Amino acid sequence: MTATGTERTLFTTAGPVVDAVEAGRLAALIVDLDRDLADCAATYCGLYPDPPFEPSLFTKVAQAIGGQGPWYSAAQLRVSNRTSAWLFALDWIMDHAADSLEQIRDTVGRCLEIGDGADPAPGDQLGLFLAELRDLVAAGPAWSRFGPLWREELRRMLEGMAREWEWKDAHARGEAELPTYERYLDNADNFGSVWGNIAHWMYVGDPDILDHMEPLRQVSRQVQKVLRLLNDLATWNRDRTWGDLNALLLGVDVPFVIAHIKALTEHCHRMLEPLYERCPQGAVFVARQIGYSTGYYGSGADYWGLLGLEGSLVEP
């Protein structure tokens, strides 16, 4: 069968060809990122039990990291990629594996000590992985300038996770009400994306980004709230099954959360506007975090596997 002139034009014009080339490059980038995470999972296999960590988790993480910064190489995205994987392990430990406040405090304390430069104990896979991340970032010249910021964001994230555990525990024992929606969202540092962004930018070392680290951190803090709410909408059924907190448990409904996401997103884009000229890669990276997560969570996708009970639930 011979192609018509229209068909030849359709399949050889620059637009589709360029788009296909970029798609191929992104696919190759994701493959490299996925392989790196597979190596990490093999090294720290005790952190990723199945369930809930299906093998596809690492592919999903690699897709997200590659989709947010497709102009970077896999080597440049190494810290962002591995930090995201470490956060999943930490989240599982803090939200589900730990069954006492003492365990929560022990995990927080160990991680903070390692963040400050301590050596992890033998067999402490969470600590060993964190020390690896710390050393990767600390090896670059940005550490002398921004190492305290990396540690501060690590602390904020860990304390946010501990705070949420205490909220859930006190409520389960009938000692306190759940937090308000506003207080819950103010605790979005437990999501960890600001810390991940800081680590990534320090590791890459783009001078324009480093010179605008504070405004990028400020907008990342607002984007983190958007990501928190997008995640909550997509994982409502799982959160109810697993006993996790979710914005929809706190006196608000889906239309309210969607409207709030839209308002926060508009605010983030206004904050980003002056940064597109001053540090374009940093601004676009943050903007693509919103875009990727909106598309991913908006399709109802989730990063986690199942524990076996989720299918019996209905939508709110």
Mean pLDDT of the chain: 91
pLDDT in tens, 73-84: 999 999 999 999
Given pLDDT bands bounded at 50, 70 and 90, which one contains residue 51? confident
Give the pLDDT of residue 19: 80
Residue 5 lies in a domain: no
Nearest to 306 by CA among 4, 52, 21, 28: 52
Q: What's the mean pLDDT in 144-163?
A: 99
Residue 20 lies in a domain: no
Provide the whole-model pTM: 0.90
Query: Where is pLDDT greater, at 257 or 311?
Result: 257
Place of tokens 């109802």: 300
Q: What's the mean pLDDT in 20-37?
A: 94
CA distances from 216 to 102, 244, 280 (A): 35, 29, 11
Residue 312 lies in a domain: no
Residue 311 lies in a domain: no
Residue 316 lies in a domain: no
Cα within 13 Å of Cα(191), Cβ side: 23
Nearest to 136 by CA among 214, 89, 128: 128
Measured CA to CA, the distance from residue 117 to residue 99 in angstroms comes to 27
Residue 316 has pLDDT above 80, yes or no: no
* Amino acid type, 40: C
CATH code at position 120:
1.10.600.10
Residue 181 has pLDDT above 80, yes or no: yes
Residue 124 lies in a domain: yes
Residue 11 lies in a domain: no
Give the pLDDT of residue 1: 37
Which residues touch 204 (CB under 8 Å, ≥6 apart)?
Answer: 72, 76
Instruction: Give the residue numbers spanning the domain of 114.
Output: 28-44+51-302
* Contact present, 289 and 227 (Cβ < 8 Å): yes
CA distances from 150 to 142, 187, 201, 207, 221 (A): 10, 18, 10, 17, 14
Residue 17 lies in a domain: no
Residue 32 has pLDDT above 90, yes or no: yes
The string of DSSP letters for the chain reads -PPPHHHHHHHHSHHHHHHHHHHHHHHHHHHHHHHHHHHHHHHTGGG--TTT--THHHHHHHHHHHHH-TTS-TTTTHHHHHHHHHHHHHHHIIIII--SHHHHHHHHHHHHHHHTTPPPPTT-HHHHHHHHHHHHHHTSTTHHHHHHHHHHHHHHHHHHHHHHHHHHHHHHTTSSPPPPHHHHHHTGGGG-HHHHHHHHHHHH--HHHHTTHHHHHHHHHHHHHHHHHHHHHHTHHHHHHHT---GGGTT--HHHHHHHHHHHHHHHHHHHTTHHHHSHHHHHHHHHHHHHHHHHHHTT--SS---S-GGG----
- How many domains, the chain? 1
Given pLDDT bands bounded at 50, 70 and 90, which one contains residue 7? very low
Neighbours of 91 (CB within 10 A): 18
Given pLDDT bands bounded at 50, 70 and 90, which one contains residue 18? low
Nearest to 32 by CA among 69, 76, 52, 62: 62
